């Protein structure tokens, strides 16, 4: 489990889990896209945890992972899920509830 601590602790730390399988180009892209958006909108108050299901397949069931890559916003609640390589920034922002949809 790789941990990317990008910022100091903050009152409202966003906990983001990125589920990938192996270091495929798709998961690399997703990670970079996610990081870019977080840097733009959540600078200093987010934490991305990359979980490789190839190494921890048992985690997939509990987290209800279906598609790869999947980002789960564990905090702040409610839990939000975005699937895909996150190339569609607009959708990502809607998914993370950083922008009102529409």
Partner 1 sequence: MKQKGAIPPSRNPSLPRCPTGIQGLDEITGGGLPLGRPTLVCGGAGCGKTLMAAEFLVRGAVEFGEPGVFMSFEESESELKANVASLGFDLAGLVQRRKIVLDYVHIEPSEFQESGDYDLEGLFVRLNHAIDSIGAKRVVMDTLEALFAGLRNEAILRAELRRLFRWLKAKGVTAVITAERGREQLTRNGLEEYVSDCVIMLDHRVVDQIATRKLRVVKFRGALHGTNEFPFLIGDTGISVLPITSLGLNHKTSNERIGTGVPRLDAMLGGRGFFRGSSVLMTGTPGTGKTIVAANIASAACKRGERALFFSFEESPSQIIRNMQSIGLHLEPFVRKGLLRFHSARPSLYGLEMHLATMFKEIAAFLPQVVIVDPVTSLMDSGTPSECRAMVTRLVDYLKARQVTTIFTSLTQGGHALQQSEASMSSLMDSWLLLQDLEGNGERNRVLYVLKARGMAHSNQVREFLISKNGVDLVDAYIGASGVLTGSARAAQEALEKATALANLQEAARRKRELGHKQEVLERQISGLRSDYETEAVELRRIDQQVGTRTLVLTTERAASGRLRQADAHASHGTRDKPKLGNGRP
Among residues 78, 96, 102, 101, which one has the least CA distance to residue 36? 96
With CB under 8 A as the contact rule, which of the stretches 9-17, 39-47, 63-71 interacts with partner 1?
A: 63-71
Minimum CB distance to partner 1 smaller for 57 or for 76: 57
Other Cβ atoms within 10 Å of 102 Cβ, number: 4
Q: Which of 40, 57, 76, 99 binds partner 1 (CB under 8 A)?
A: 57
3-state secondary structure 9-51: CCCCCEEEEEEECCCCHHHHHHHHHHHHHHHHHCCCCEEEEEE
Minimum CB distance to partner 1 smaller for 40 or for 64: 64
With CB under 8 A as the contact rule, which of the stretches 5-13, 41-49, 56-64 interacts with partner 1?
A: 56-64
Minimum CB distance to partner 1 smaller for 5 or for 36: 36
DSSP states along 87-100: --HHHHHHHTTSS-
Q: Which of 66, 75, 76, 99 binds partner 1 (CB under 8 A)?
A: 66
Determine phi and psi for 74, rounding to 5 degrees: -80, -35
* Interacting residues with partner 1 (CB under 8 A): 19, 21, 26, 29-30, 33, 53-54, 57-58, 60-61, 64-70, 79-89, 91-92, 94-95
């Amino acid at each position: 489990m790789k941990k990317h601590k990008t910022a100091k602790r903050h009152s409202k730390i966003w906990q983001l889990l990125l589920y990938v399988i192996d270091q495929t180009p798709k998961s690399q892209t997703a990670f970079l896209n996610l990081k870019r958006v977080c840097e733009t909108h959540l600078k200093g108050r987010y934490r991305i945890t990359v979980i490789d299901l190839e190494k921890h397949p048992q985690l997939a069931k509990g987290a209800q992972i279906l598609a790869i890559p999947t980002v789960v916003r564990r905090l702040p609640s409610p839990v939000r899920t975005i699937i895909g390589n996150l190339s569609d920034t607009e959708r990502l922002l809607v998914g993370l509830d950083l922008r009102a949809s529409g």
